[in-house]
Structure 1
Amino acid sequence: MKIKDRIALYFTLISTSLLFAVLCTVYFTFMKFLEADFFERLTDRTMVTAKLYFEADEISRDALNNVRHKYLQKLNGEVTRIYDNKNRATFIGDSAQYWTNATIDRVRKNGRLKYTDGQRQVVGIYYKDNQGDFVILASADDQGSHNRLDKLLKIMIFTFILISLIVLLLSRWIAQKMLKPLQKFMQEVKQAGSQNMDFRVEEKHNKDEINLIAKSFNHLMEELEQAFILQKTFVANASHELRTPVTRMMMTAELALSKERDQMAYQKVIGSMLEDAEKMEHIITGLLALAKMDLELINSQLVPVRLAHLLSKIQTEWKSQKNLDLTIAHKQSFDPKAETLANAVLLQIALDNIISNAFKFSNNQPVNILVEATENDFLIQITDNGSGILSEDEEHIFKPFYTRAKDQGQQGEGMGLYMAQKIIHLFKGEITSTNTEQEGCTFTVRLAKL
């Protein structure tokens, strides 16, 4: 059963139960009121009968009966009896013993008596007169009240059914209106998938449960997106960063095996391969640290890094391994011995990714790095001589898997700049990009001084 149907059913059951209780209360209250009213009428008629028979001595019995039937409304099935002290019927035209001696004695003992006998109501009074002590008993069938109660019951049943249907329809409408945001939420959730992990459902400003569910879902999507990106990032960067040392190790090994060499040559080859293996170990360690994405773990691995030494190492590798022109210049404000708090392997990966993009999109033209120091920060400006960044791409370049490399015949997974930004942010820094006045693009990395 759907939630809206369940809500409508529960609301209808509660409402109809309350309505049923109210109608039953009204019905039984009205029934008791009619019963009490009929008892009063029957008592009044009994008292009037006593007055007529016992106080009007000068009037004959037949005249009294005529007055009684003429001026008093006869009740349905009315029976009246007057009994003397020997429990014998008197004054009334017939002398039938309508009530038992036990009932007559109860009236004489209690003074007054009221009870219901089937559908008939009975009233008895003990009356003292100069002619003797008498018991007057009268009974009648309150057929008018029964008819009224039957009509009232039919009206109540019709009203109960009508109101129940109205409540059911209204509760379904209210439930549907209340759950409309949930239905919208469900439709939006269906759009989430592995192809659009950045999808988020709309969050309202109210603080109801549906909005809390939306916030929880968005938080879950953020966690899943990070995990999804992390997995792809690790694979992409592992293949990207490890390809070069693995290729160099294979080429070195193949070259060493191509002909016989002396012991010194083999030792040199093994040393070169060991150096590449150590570099691979450092890269893997950095990638694993990044894959964990645990800020406390990353902070615990941060150490003082001399920026000038790291940049010099990067420049040497790009020139020696790929024979590309990477120029580094320092402003006078920069102290070569200055340090920043970072992870050296991760910081090198971030800068290498930016430099790699600079060479890729400038067809391997020279790339310039300008290092400047401010009062609290280091500024590393990496400038290429490419075509620059299109205005519509500026807000997307740091998103994962976003790349225009294939449009320009280049290879790329769109992870380099995302990884660079992620790493720089872990070091409490920031990275921005601007197009130069001539042509090309400048990426500025800001890192805090130690």
Structure 2
Amino acid sequence: MSDLFAAAPSETDRARPLADQLRPQTLDDVIGQTHLLGPDGTLRRMIASGRLGSLILWGPPGTGKTTVARLLADQIGYRFEQISAVFSGVADLKKVFEKARFERLSGHKTLLFVDEIHRFNRAQQDGFLPVMEDGTVVLVGATTENPSFELNAALLSRSQVLRFESLGLDDLEKLVTRAEALTGAALPLEPEARQTLLTLADGDGRALLGLVEEVLSSVKPGETLDAATMLTVIQRRAPIYDKAQDGHYNLISALHKTIRGSDPDAALYYFARMLDAGEDPLFLARRLIRMAVEDVGLADPQALPQAVAARDAFQMLGSPEGELALAQVVVYLALAPKSNAVYTAYKGAMSVAKATGSPMPPMVILNAPTKLMKGSGYGDGYIYDHDTPEAFSGQEYFPEKIGRQKFYEPVERGFERDLRKRVEYFERLRASKRAED
């Protein structure tokens, strides 16, 4: 542990936020991100090679992106220049670029750190390309959003994306220990309360230190807080979740795949996380209806009515009672037999329909509402299926141009076992009719 964390804070230091006081002074001081900063980490290899290319640091808040960028510049002897896409515009960028060009003439290289780089529009992002290509700056951008969706392809192609992970509970515990060493006192929390505090940080080191400060400012001399008391004196931190961005899509993907994977416990967990983060329950209801037809299908024909009924129940009951109906259908769908046979059949039929144009259906199944159409052969030879012994005529209904197609293949699960028997029954009758003809 460096002297920074062991030394007693001065009065001036005490006025600074704890996160600022504990900011690492070397890369060895950084907690977490061992896949990047460990002995075989990506950034360690870059530093050892003496070459640093442009980087995009992607990860949740409070995971060390800004700190690592600053320490990288120190490590390789580059000037560190920082701007925020939230507060900067084209004029600010031009000033930074001009300064970097001037410094370059003096032999000084510039690492330009751009916080929230995804906030720049496409044209502004393109403005970085010339100064990256001619070596005016090494760009290090930080973003909490998925670069694949938020950054220009041209910018991404010139950068290496490094993923920063949320801090684990062990990492957060190390951070609290450092805070205790800095303040010279143990955090006045019972073990369960301490664990709860770590959990509330949600992997965000900066948020954790903010919570530590709240506890220290609220506790009475000699008092030790239990978990329940601690939650009353600090404001609960909202989960990291943006209903229009990456967290939203990650969790709905997790919910869908755990239902598809027949894991009701994991499905309930992700369902609860989305609700707890403020997701619209009707959005979840719509997605559950989709899962009922896409992943359960006719293996359990009651899945769709169950999902629709849960949506209707929520609309009638409202929140919070209505969420239980949605939770019920989450469990129902997770435990239902699965089949995507109809989904696959539909995609196959759509593909053939798009590829084959507009061939005329067989004349035999066309209506003949006029004498002219009847005289032209419309409906000629049509057999009314109910007039046959098996209520099945076996006539060919596909256009002659494309011939008979096979789309629907029922699986050997749930109700589709019975449907498979029906399909096979009609296939045998159809073959028999063809043999007779």
* TM-score normalised according to structure 1 size: 0.17
Higher strand share: 1
Structure with more contact order per residue of length (Cα contacts < 8 Å, sep ≥ 6): 2
* TM-score normalised according to structure 2 size: 0.17
